[in-house]
Structure 1
């Protein structure tokens, strides 16, 4: 079957969430506004996540997986998803399901006119410390990137696959996906989406990852922006 959208689901030690992930994503496939597939990227999980993923994919024909030999981090998992996607559009959602799969349909409404559409988490259901550190980190990032995005950490995005494949990923760059589309002279948009508390498993990132890490990544982004190569072919021979 040909798919218009492939949704990447990075997984790291999420065995407590995967049954709910299967149910909610399989329910979404029934109402998706375009033909859609699911791609699990197992980022070297040490629990039973891989066994559960294989069982899910065996009984769900539109679910697929790739599995890393070792844990490489979220940016690597997203890049692997980009690399293995063949559909016109590629989406991304976290396996903690703090965002709702059905909100992909809200993003798809704008995917023809924009090369990246990202969610903005309305009424976030996180702790005060997590919300505050995220707000500060987003403010710092906006000052560096000028991308105008309020919530690049929102784990609900749709990108044109050809643009996604041209992103030169490095660790931490998942926070800069809108800015990397702008470097390609693409168009970006943010759309309010639902947000829910985590109901199972544990968050994988602490204060360092949410605040100090992104600050350091901003300097890496500025270096990449200065060195970034972007070109358009005017014509070529047959």
Structure 2
């Protein structure tokens, strides 16, 4: 389990507790990547390690953004299957078993959540709907909501993807670029109870258009070798 956090004081320890409850019947670790928080997030997480020995805290010296924090967490992960979710508490950890159920049914390299009944402002939902529509039309990734932070994937598949800032928003397209199967499952969404959003609507849209051009270039330059196998020795 990997969750990036930046200035999530007041909700950090509670999220860890919810993740632990959702995974209590499984062998798991909880990796929280503190992306150079300037509030009490790190203190809250450190105190939580007494109650949750499976909690590991990865600390960034400088703020590097959600994609870099996610990558740091995946690099640190010991398991072959990783679940990611946003550290702001808007993804409900109780939905994690839904991803595992879908994974058990399909064995896809990625199971991506898609939020239903989003608890965001009307302006944010409108901007997201527009950006998702443009992205889906151009990238043809089959996703209706790549902004949902709740996803399950094979660790080795993720580490084969090209890294760039904001790449977490294009994981279905990038996974399919490498020939991996991606499936989707509806999940819930919660209103933010602590901290502040790290993105503005205008800023998100401006970055999204630039990133989509980059992902389109990556898709255009990909060449599939078909099945790859190693020949036996004579």
TM-score, normalization: structure 1? Answer: 0.91
* Residue 234 (structure 2) pairs with residue 218 (structure 1): no
Moved more, 71-80 or 228-237: 228-237
Question: Shift of the alpha carbon at 1:226?
Answer: 2.9
Equivalent residue number for residue 178 of structure 1: 172
Equivalent residue number for residue 234 of structure 1: 229
* Residue 122 (structure 2) pairs with residue 128 (structure 1): yes
* Distance in 2 between residues matched to 1:109 and 1:22, nearest whole Å: 22
* Residue 17 (structure 2) pairs with residue 29 (structure 1): no
Question: Shift of the alpha carbon at 1:237?
Answer: 6.5
- The runs of 5 or more residues in structure 1 that have no matched partner are 1-6
| CA offsets 1:88-137 (integer angstroms, 9 cap, x no match) | 21111112211211211001112242111111111111100000000001
CA RMSD of aligned residues (A): 1.7
Q: 1:131 to 1:86 in 2, by over 3 A?
A: same
* Residue 193 (structure 2) pairs with residue 199 (structure 1): yes
Moved more, 36-45 or 51-60: 51-60
User: How many residues matched?
Assistant: 230
* Distance in 1 between residues matched to 2:16 and 2:54, nearest whole Å: 11
Equivalent residue number for residue 145 of structure 2: 151
* Distance in 1 between residues matched to 2:103 and 2:113, nearest whole Å: 12
* Residue 33 (structure 2) pairs with residue 66 (structure 1): no
* Distance in 2 between residues matched to 1:49 and 1:237, nearest whole Å: 53
CA contact (8 A) 2:115 2:186 kept: yes
Question: Shift of the alpha carbon at 1:207?
Answer: 1.0
CA contact (8 A) 2:146 2:170 kept: yes
* Distance in 1 between residues matched to 2:47 and 2:142, nearest whole Å: 41
Question: Shift of the alpha carbon at 1:57?
Answer: 2.3
* Distance in 1 between residues matched to 2:78 and 2:65, nearest whole Å: 22
* Residue 42 (structure 2) pairs with residue 50 (structure 1): yes
- The runs of 5 or more residues in structure 2 that have no matched partner are none
CA contact (8 A) 2:99 2:152 kept: yes
* Distance in 1 between residues matched to 2:91 and 2:43, nearest whole Å: 24
Which secondary structure state, in structure 2, belongs to the residue aligned with residue 95 of structure 1? coil
Moved more, 55-64 or 222-231: 222-231
TM-score, normalization: structure 2? Answer: 0.92
Question: Shift of the alpha carbon at 1:39?
Answer: 0.3
Q: 1:55 to 1:137 in 2, by over 3 A?
A: same
